Amino acid sequence: KAGVTQTPRYLIKTRGQQVTLSCSPISGHRSVSWYQQTPGQGLQFLFEYFSETQRNKGNFPGRFSGRQFSNSRSEMNVSTLELGDSALYLCASSLGIGGSTDTQYFGPGTRLTVL
């Protein structure tokens, strides 16, 4: 079974630009969560999508948005990029059924650098 894939793996943008990151979950998984990881903050939860609906949202500004398609693939968009947005963006997929058996499987991440 193929794992979680994220594209692109690396991205360099300048301040003010926007960026779209893509995540393909494991086949059969309906939940996709996005995280921002920086050295000092650890993993920060952005949002979770389940069956094309945003189910949970973290404390990030509205510049961060996402969506999920009918095939469970998800995209994350960041508009008006700031230097502080430089981070590793991780996508995790799970069955989405909740409970202790609902393990999140992470992709390799997209390394975003904002200059």
Partner 1 sequence: KNQVEQSPQSLIILEGKNCTLQCNYTVSPFSNLRWYKQDTGRGPVSLTIMTFSENTKSNGRYTATLDADTKQSSLHITASQLSDSASYICVVSSVAGNNRKLIWGLGTSLAVNP
Q: Using CB under 8 A as the criterion, which residues of the chain lie in contact with partner 1 when the complex forms? A: 4, 41-45, 56, 90, 92, 98, 100, 103-109
Cα dihedral sign for 83, 84, 88, 89?
A: negative
Alpha helices in the chain (DSSP H): none
Q: Least distance from C-beta 84 to partner 1, angstroms?
A: 18
Of 60 and 79, the one with the shorter C-beta distance to partner 1 is 60
Q: What is the C-alpha separation between 88 and 70, in angstroms, rounded?
A: 26
- In the complex with partner 1, the residue whose CB is nearer, 72 or 96, is 96
- Residue (60 or 106) nearer to partner 1, CB: 106
In the complex, the smallest distance separating the C-beta of residue 2 from partner 1, rounded to whole angstroms, is: 14
CB of 62 to partner 1, least distance (A): 21
CB of 93 to partner 1, least distance (A): 11
What single-letter DSSP state applies at residue 102?
-
Burial (CB count <10 Å: 0-12, 13-18, 19+), residue 50 = buried
